[in-house]
Structure 1
Amino acid sequence: MTKKLKIKKGDTVKVIAGKDKGAEGKVISVLREQDRVIVEGVNRIKKHTKVVNAGGRAGTTGGIITAEAPIHVSNVMLVEGDGVTRVGYRRDEVTKRRPDGSTYTGHRSVRISRKTGEEI
């Protein structure tokens, strides 16, 4: 079973370790199996690609492509306001509605900022 990461796709994060330390960017994708995230404009690498002529017109052109490589989730922190914060969770009580119209109280897990305690 893969563990739950506290960083989600679309979050703005700041790199706190590595060659791109201090850079901020938006999370493009989360790789839960490897505990890594891909951040826009961070950890850019050059990838050499071949010309592929398979499929006629659908072939790709070769060359050097610059792309973002995954970065470990422990090397990024969530940006909140003008600084960074750790992420916590809080269980809120909510009223839910059944298909027949009756209501009941349930719980909803929300991400919160450890610095301010506000919902993210």
Structure 2
Amino acid sequence: MKSTILIIEDNDQNMYMLSYLLEKNNFNVLKAFNGQDGLRQAKEFHPDIILLDIQLPDMDGYDICKNIRHNGVPNSTIIIAVTSHAMGGDKEKAIQAGANGYLDKPINPDTFVSQMKKIIKANKKYE
């Protein structure tokens, strides 16, 4: 069975690249271009994995992560922050907000899926 990934990302090019790579690697992909839609889809569809941009126009990604963790989305959902917001302490802040892992942008198309799977496997919830 394919895992379902919700991508919460406001940049069209990044969304295209992430969804292309994931669909090519046999994942079902849901897309949200802002935080509110991402929260709605997370609660409605309970994806296995959420790729979350931290810098969104309508909501802070850290707040979205906290909201997902405390509002009916299964604890088994893996949240990975994917962001260019890579300053000292940002990875720790994402983990404290409830993320299971953190990947920097720009992503490397050749290694992105394997990096993501490594985070999922480390959380022992990947099929």
TM-score of Structure 1 vs Structure 2, range by shorter chain: under 0.3
Query: Which of 1 and 2 has higher RCO (CA within 8 Å, sep 6+)?
Result: 2
Q: TM-score, normalised by structure 1?
A: 0.23
Higher strand share: 1
> In terms of Rg, which structure is larger?
1
Higher helix share: 2
Q: TM-score, normalised by structure 2?
A: 0.22
